[in-house]
């Protein structure tokens, strides 16, 4: 077993967790960050790295991957320890108030406080019933790189924001884009749907993908709609059918869970388990707004209160970063 000893453990390496890691470093805390995904960025990296985000303060628009890259650069100056591709499994606390969090792979992190920034918990894409065996051979659930689909015939399946966003983003890059949705009504924002309908994307509603065919990789897709089946050329199928979320082992940590998915917190971002804080979409309190921008503030609040818990001689207010940290060259 690998044992890592740090002041603070952050569970979740999404944008809020990365900002928490920066702030912990700013407060002089040694930090470890654990995430079940193999790379930092959470849902942003896994699901919409190329999608512009418009509600981050100071950025009129920023792509998901660029936001994550900036957060990693901001965090790197304090050298947190990343434990990626390992889900936090168990939490124990000894008589001295020291936590030990063990991952599914056997890594143990010993710390004085924990900040859970796990977003919606672990998430699993809903599979495409007709084509599961093609995963990795032309079928995917996310679009890590738009350029990988340059010159391809792409089938996007789904009617939510991700499906519409990916179809629109791929339109100028792919040879053709067809969006297949089983209903006529879309779950996506009305503005995105309007853009989709005004684009060159072929939109097929009241239809489903009923077959995926090819050799080593996807070559064609069968779509069945009101007029019967049709076969289209395709080198890529993106199944944007949503995902299921699960708090997983965190449920067994003795923390109150609301609505089967959220962790209630007080104004300090503390859960009902002393020494365990939370920030980001996973938190719940009256008036909660689930935005990345809100999560950043919650991360700072959680870390500052954790710093005082770890060292009662510390002040809650950390001072202004412009006074305490030399400007970068």
Residues 104 and 251 reside in one and the same domain? yes
Answer whether residue 257 is part of any domain: yes
| Mean pLDDT, the chain, integer | 92
Residues 23 and 91 reside in one and the same domain? yes
Residues 119 and 250 reside in one and the same domain? yes
The DSSP bridge pattern shows strands 276-278 and 113-116 to be parallel
Domain count, the chain: 2
Residue/partner pairs of 188-195 with CB below 8 Å, 24 or more apart: 188/159, 188/160, 188/161, 188/163, 188/164, 189/161, 189/164, 192/161, 192/164, 192/165, 192/168, 193/164, 195/164, 195/168
Give the residue-averaged pLDDT of 169-176: 96
Domain that holds residue 198: 127-239
Return the half-sphere exposure (C-beta side, CA atoms, 13 A cut-off) of residue 151.
0
The DSSP bridge pattern shows strands 218-225 and 228-233 to be antiparallel
Residue/partner pairs of 44-47 with CB below 8 Å, 24 or more apart: 44/14, 44/15, 44/68, 45/144, 46/123, 46/142, 47/142, 47/162
Q: In this predicted model, what pLDDT tens digit does every residue of 306-322 receive, in sequence order?
A: 999 999 999 999 888 88
Answer whether residue 252 is part of any domain: yes
Residues 98 and 228 reside in one and the same domain? no
Residues 212 and 316 reside in one and the same domain? no
CATH of the domain at 176: 3.50.50.60
Residues 117 and 16 reside in one and the same domain? yes
Residues 247 and 235 reside in one and the same domain? no
Give the residue-averaged pLDDT of 47-66: 87
pLDDT at 95 over 90: yes
pLDDT at 328 over 60: no
Q: Which of 239, 264, 290 corresponds to the end of one domain?
A: 239
Give the residue-averaged pLDDT of 48-63: 87
Is residue 141 a known part of a binding site? no
Cβ(177)–Cβ(59) below 8 Å: no
Whole-number pLDDT of residue 99: 98
Is residue 123 a known part of a binding site? yes
Q: In this predicted model, what pLDDT tens digit does every residue of 291-309 receive, in sequence order?
A: 999 999 999 999 999 999 9
Whole-number pLDDT of residue 278: 98
Residues 115 and 150 reside in one and the same domain? no
Residues 110 and 51 reside in one and the same domain? yes
Instruction: Give DSSP secondary structure letters for 183-227.
Output: SSS-SS-HHHHHHHHHSS-EEE-S-EEEEEEESSSEEEEEEEETT
Is residue 43 a known part of a binding site? yes
pLDDT at 144 over 90: no
Residues 283 and 187 reside in one and the same domain? no
Is residue 35 a known part of a binding site? yes
Which region among 98-112, 116-130, 181-195 has the lowest average model confidence (pLDDT)?
116-130
Answer whether residue 134 is part of any domain: yes
Q: What is the pTM of this model?
A: 0.80
Is residue 88 a known part of a binding site? yes
The model's confidence at residue 329, banded by pLDDT at 50, 70 and 90, is very low
Q: b/e for 181-207, b at 16 or more Cβ within 10 A?
A: beeeebebeeebbebbeebebebbeeb
Is residue 48 a known part of a binding site? yes
Answer whether residue 329 is part of any domain: no
Answer whether residue 297 is part of any domain: yes
Is residue 165 a known part of a binding site? no
Residues 112 and 11 reside in one and the same domain? yes
Q: Which of 200, 216, 239 corresponds to the end of one domain?
A: 239
Residues 119 and 137 reside in one and the same domain? no
Whole-number pLDDT of residue 131: 83
* Residue percentage of the chain with pLDDT more than 70: 97
Give the residue-averaged pLDDT of 181-188: 94
């Amino acid at each position: 077993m690998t044992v890592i000893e740090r002041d603070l453990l952050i569970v979740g390496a999404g944008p809020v967790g990365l900002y928490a890691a920066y702030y912990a470093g700013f407060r002089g805390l040694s930090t470890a960050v654990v995430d079940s995904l193999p790379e930092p960025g959470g849902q942003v990296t896994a699901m919409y790295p190329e999608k512009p985000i418009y509600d981050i303060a100071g950025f009129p628009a920023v792509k998901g991957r660029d936001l994550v890259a900036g957060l990693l650069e901001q965090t790197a100056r304090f050298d947190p320890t990343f434990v990626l591709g390992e889900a936090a499994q168990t939490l124990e606390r000894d008589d001295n108030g020291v936590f030990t969090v063990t991952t599914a792979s056997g890594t143990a992190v010993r710390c004085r406080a924990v900040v859970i920034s796990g977003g919606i918990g672990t998430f699993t894409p809903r599979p495409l019933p007709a084509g599961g065996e093609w995963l990795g051979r032309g079928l995917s659930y996310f679009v890590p790189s738009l350029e990988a689909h340059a010159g391809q015939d792409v089938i996007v399946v789904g009617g939510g924001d991700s499906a519409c966003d990916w179809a629109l983003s791929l339109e100028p890059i792919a040879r053709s884009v067809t969006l297949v949705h089983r209903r006529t009504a879309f779950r996506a924002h009305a503005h995105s749907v309007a853009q989709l309908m005004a684009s060159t994307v072929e939109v097929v509603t009241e239809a489903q993908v009923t077959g995926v065919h090819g050799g080593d990789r996807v070559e064609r897709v069968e779509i069945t709609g009101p007029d019967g089946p049709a076969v289209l050329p395709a080198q890529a199928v993106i199944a944007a059918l949503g995902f299921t979320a699960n708090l997983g082992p965190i449920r067994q940590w003795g923390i109150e869970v609301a609505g089967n998915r959220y962790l209630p917190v007080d104004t300090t971002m503390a859960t009902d388990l002393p020494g365990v804080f939370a920030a980001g979409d996973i938190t719940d309190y009256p008036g909660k707004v689930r935005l990345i921008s809100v999560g950043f503030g919650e991360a700072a609040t959680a870390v500052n209160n954790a710093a005082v818990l770890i060292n009662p001689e510390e002040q809650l207010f950390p001072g202004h970063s412009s006074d305490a940290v030399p400007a970068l060259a």
